[in-house]
Amino acid sequence: MTGEDDLAAALAGLLCDLIAIPSPYPPGDTREIAGYAAARLRRAGYAVEVPSRRDGIDNVVARLGGGRPSLVFNAHVDTVAPGPREAWRSDPYRGTVREGAVHGLGAGNCKGSMAVQLWLADEIARAGGPARGEVVFTFVGDEERLGPDGLRFLREGGRVAPDMLVLGGQTENQLIVEERGVLWARIVAHGRAAHAGKPQAGENAILRMLRLVGALEGVLGPRLARRGTLGKPATMSLGTIRGGENANVVPSRCVAEIDRRLVPGESVEAAFAEIESALAGAGEPPASYEVELLTGTSGFSSPIDGPCVAAFRRAIEGRLGRPARFIDATGVSDGRHFAGDRIEILTFGPGSGAEGHAANESVAVRDLVDAAVIQREVVRELLGLRR
């Protein structure tokens, strides 16, 4: 076997190990898979801690070297639930290698990146560690529910303070350097119940909600269509609407939730204030509705000529023989928690985003190998290796 054949076998085997450790959300229990990663990293010589602030959600921080620059790698270890088992051609919790790919739950999102990063951690340790600065590997939970108890928790506690943050993700070994922020808001419209045979005796909360949402769309729709960067627009989507008890009762309450995607440069506070202003323009009495900010984080944009992005561009072209591409992010990552920190943030990893959150998820073994070689070269360029 060639050296790359050995590497392919090692990465495929490591990924199969990770797939066999269930970590779906719900419930998002990451204790076992975090323990697996922590034990491996301790054997390699890293200083390892496993911090947690919510029962069942363990995170791993493994550090080698010290000082600046701080190059932090990250992959989330939780997955979505597998869904109906009959949709899978093989056991979702058993990694299966066929037709040059590893199949199983989380193969691409995000255990493929985790496998590559664990291999990379071993490789750096075998080379004596970084010649300058530090390299940190973080494996976190609570990503799939957009929760605060994974990478955000590590940042808030000062356990990581990167100069450069590399997030694992399904980018087909290309680069995401810009990501929209996200804001979720809830609108509650109030009315007065009455018999449907005499609707004029009540106030219909669903109709009030329709007027509120109509005003929101009328004001923000055209405005958001003019915002955007790198081809990704600012957007707003009505995700849920619930109201009424029975067809013969005028509804007294209606609840709607909206998703607002923010382009880099927009703040959560300003975007929410814009929603409040648009709703106020609907003409409904102020006491007849409420709007609440549920969660929100800003987007980020890294310069394409920054040291980390430039190192990835060179390594990708050197390995794949063609220039790196910058691709769009459909969803959001844990990089959003560092949006205001003035650091380089990028997402890179094996696999296609089209396969994430889907039955029969897979990642090509060749993509795993390419991702490993590319990231090893990036570390060599940015930090150097002692031998």
Look at residues 243, 267, 248 and name the one whose alpha carbon lies nearest to residue 182. 267
How far apart, in whole angstroms, are the C-alpha atoms of residue 376 and residue 363? 20
Note the pLDDT tens digit of each residue in 256-289.
999 999 998 899 999 999 999 999 999 999 999 9
Same domain, 117 and 162: yes
Q: Which domain holds residue 65?
A: 3-179+299-382
387 within some domain: no
HSE-up (13 A, CA, CB side) for residue 111: 35
Q: Which 3 state secondary structure label does DSSP give 350?
A: coil
Instruction: Report phi then psi at 182, rounded to 5.
Output: -140, 140
Q: Which of 297, 314, 334 lies at the terminal end of a domain, its last residue?
A: 297
> Mean pLDDT for the chain?
95
How far apart, in whole angstroms, are the C-alpha atoms of residue 3 and residue 294? 50
Note the pLDDT tens digit of each residue in 30-55.
999 999 999 999 999 999 999 999 99
Note the pLDDT tens digit of each residue in 219-259.
999 999 988 765 678 999 999 999 999 999 999 999 999 99
Same domain, 331 and 343: yes
Same domain, 17 and 94: yes
In one-letter notation, the amino acid at residue 384 is G
Q: Residues 6 or more apart from 179 whose CB is under 8 A from it?
A: 264, 299, 300, 301, 329, 332, 333, 335, 336, 345, 347
Number of domains, the chain = 2
Which helix (H) or strand (E) segment holds residue 273: the answer is: helix 268-280
Instruction: Report phi then psi at 190, rounded to 5.
Output: -110, 150
Beta bridge partners of 258: 185, 238
In one-letter notation, the amino acid at residue 45 is G
Same domain, 308 and 375: yes
311 within some domain: yes
46 within some domain: yes
Same domain, 55 and 161: yes
How far apart, in whole angstroms, are the C-alpha atoms of residue 325 and residue 290? 44
Q: Which of 263, 297, 331 lies at the terminal end of a domain, its last residue?
A: 297
Same domain, 276 and 344: no
Note the pLDDT tens digit of each residue in 170-216.
999 999 999 998 899 999 999 999 999 999 999 999 999 999 999 99
In one-letter notation, the amino acid at residue 324 is A
Same domain, 287 and 319: no
**Residue 292: band (very low, low, confident or very high) from pLDDT cuts 50, 70, 90:** very high
Same domain, 55 and 135: yes
**pLDDT over threshold 60, residue 358:** yes
Q: Which of 230, 265, 297 lies at the terminal end of a domain, its last residue?
A: 297
DSSP states along 361-377: -EEEHHHHHHHHHHHHH
Whether 131 and 33 have beta carbons less than 8 Å apart is answered as no
Same domain, 136 and 11: yes
Domain CATH number, residue 291 = 3.30.70.360
How far apart, in whole angstroms, are the C-alpha atoms of residue 122 and residue 14? 12
Same domain, 144 and 231: no
